[in-house]
Amino acid sequence: MANPRIRALTWWRKWAKRDWVIAAVGLTIILFSLTLLFDSRKPDDSSIFSRSSVDDHVPLTLLHRAKATGAFCLDGSLPAYHFQKGFGSGSNNWLLHLEGGGWCNSIGTCNRRKGSSLGSSKYMDRLVTFAGILSRHSSQNPDFYNWNKVKIRYCDGASFAGHPESEFKNGTKLFFRGQLIWEAIMDELLSLGLSNAKQALLTGCSAGGLATLIHCDDFRDHLPKDATVKCLADAGFFLDEPDILGSRTLRAFYDDVVKLQCLFPEEIIKNVRTPVFIVNPAYDFWQIQHVLVPIQSHPHGNWKRCRLSIKECNSSYIETLQGFRGSLLKALREFQKSEDGGIFINSCYIHCQTWLPETWHSPSSPRINNKTIAESVGDWYFNREASKLIDCAYPCNPTCYNMDFTGRL
C-alpha cells in the first residue's frame, strides 16, 4: 500500500474483476444532446451555441505507436487523440483534456462498449469541435486559447488506468489497457513538443476528471523541472456516499472495504503533489442519479422527477440534496487548506462544465463572486489571485445552468 498511484491502480484492477457498472455509457453524447435542453431563460444562448467555425473542428489522429506496447482500446483498435497546435505566446504551452464517459466493469458492459466510441476508435468522430477550455478564441477561453491543445479519447472503460492483468478471457476478447494508453499518449505528445513545455495543464471531465487526479503527478514527472504544471479535475470528485436507503452504491461491489479507503478522489487527492483545481457542481446530476438516488433506491418512483430536474424537488428532497452538498464540502475540507489548490463548487444541477462554452466562459456563464470558471481557473493557474470559491446553497445562485431531463419522460 506504499505508492498512492499503485494503490489507485490496484483499485482499478480489483474493480475490473467485479461485475459492476456505473452505467454512464455515452455520457458525452447525452450531454451534447442535452445541451439543447438547458434551462434556456437566458436570452443570448443562441449566439453562444452557434459560435463555432471550421477552424474549431479538429481531426482525429490514431496513435500508431500504441501497437508496439499493445496499448489498445477495448476492442483492440488503436487509441486516438485530437491535436490543435498552439500559436503566439502559447506555442510552448500545453493543455491536455482527458475525455470522460463513465466506466464499464463487466464482460457484458465492456463488450457493449466495443461497439461505441467509448470502446473503439472505429466509431470515433473524425472531427470534433474544440470549445470551452479547448477553444482557440480568447473571448471563449481568455487564458488558454493559444496553447497547444489535445483531446485524448477515452476507449479503455477504466479512466485510463486499466491493466492487462485484469483482462477477461472466457471467449470474449477485451483489452483493458488504459494505463498503457496513457503511457503511449504521453510518449507521443512528448515527441510532438510537450517535452519542451513551459506551462502545462492536465484536465479532464467526469471519468476523465478522475483520470486527471490519478495521472496528475505522473504528468508532472514527465515535464521539465522548471515548467509550471498543474491539474484541473472537472466533475471528477466522486463521493463515497451512501444512497438514500443507506446502501453504498459506489462501494457495493468491493469485497475489501479496507482497500477501498484509497479509491475515492478524497483519498487520492491527499497524495497528489502537483497543484490541483477541483471544479464540481454541488448538485452533480450524475452523482445524484447514480450515487445518491440510483434507480434501485426509490422503487416506487418517488424521486422520479426530482432526480431529473432540481426544480421539481420538494423541500424534503432538497434537504437530502443539501446533505449531499454538505458531504462534498466536508470531503474537500482538508483540500481547501492546501496553499496551491483551487476550488470552484457552484450550486448548480449539472455535471461537466469546462468544455461547454456556455458554462466555461460566456456572458451568461455560472459565476461565483462574479467570476466564471475560466476566470477562476486562470487566476489560480497564473497565481493572480487565490481561487477557492464555494457557492451558497441552492437556489441562491441565479447564474446557474440547471439541467432539466424531464423533457425525456
Ligand X SMILES: *[C@@H]1O[C@H](CO)[C@@H](O)[C@H](O)[C@H]1NC(C)=O
Question: Within 259-278, which residues bind ligand X (CB under 6 A)?
Answer: none
> What cell does 92 get?
510552448
Separation between Cα atoms, residue 377 and residue 328, nearest integer Å: 20
Q: Least separation, in Å, of the C-beta of 17 and ligand X?
A: 7
Question: What are the phi and psi torsion angles at 51 (to 5°)?
Answer: -90, 45
Dihedral angle of Cα 393, 397, 400, 405, to the nearest 10 degrees = 50
Roughly how many angstroms between the first and final C-alpha of the chain, as a whole number? 46
- Stretch (H or E) spanning 15: helix 4-17
Under the binding rule (CB under 6 A), the answer on residue 314 touching ligand X is: yes
- Helical H segments across 232-302, by residue range: 257-260, 265-271, 285-287
Nearer to ligand X, 4 or 378 (CB): 378
The residue from 117, 135, 166, 206 that is catalytic is 206
Residues whose CB is less than 8 angstroms from the CB of residue 356 and which lie 6 or more positions away in sequence, other chains included: 31, 35, 131, 132
The residue from 97, 163, 351, 361 that is catalytic is 351
Separation between Cα atoms, residue 280 and residue 354, nearest integer Å: 10
- Among 226, 255, 256, 315, indicate the residue that binds ligand X (CB under 6 A): 315
Under the binding rule (CB under 6 A), the answer on residue 253 touching ligand X is: no
Nearer to ligand X, 50 or 370 (CB): 370
Q: How far is CA 294 from the centre of its chain?
A: 20
Question: Within 99-158, which residues bind ligand X (CB under 6 A)?
Answer: 107
| Interface region with ligand X, contact rule CB under 6 A, candidates 110-118, 134-142, 240-248, 308-316 | 308-316
297 is a catalytic site residue: no
Q: Least separation, in Å, of the C-beta of 63 and ligand X?
A: 28
226 is a catalytic site residue: no
- Among 170, 256, 396, 398, indicate the residue that binds ligand X (CB under 6 A): 170
166 is a catalytic site residue: no
Nearer to ligand X, 105 or 179 (CB): 105
Binding-site string for ligand X from residue 213 to residue 252, where x marks contact by CB under 6 A and - marks none: ----------------------------------------
Look at the chain and count its residues.
409
By the 8 A CB rule, do 147 and 90 touch? yes
Under the binding rule (CB under 6 A), the answer on residue 369 touching ligand X is: no
Under the binding rule (CB under 6 A), the answer on residue 168 touching ligand X is: yes
Under the binding rule (CB under 6 A), the answer on residue 23 touching ligand X is: no
The residue from 143, 156, 284, 404 that is catalytic is 284
Q: How many CB atoms lie within 10 A of CB 211?
A: 27
Task: Name the DSSP letter for residue 165.
Answer: G
Nearer to ligand X, 22 or 374 (CB): 374
User: What residues are labeled active site?
Assistant: 206, 284, 351
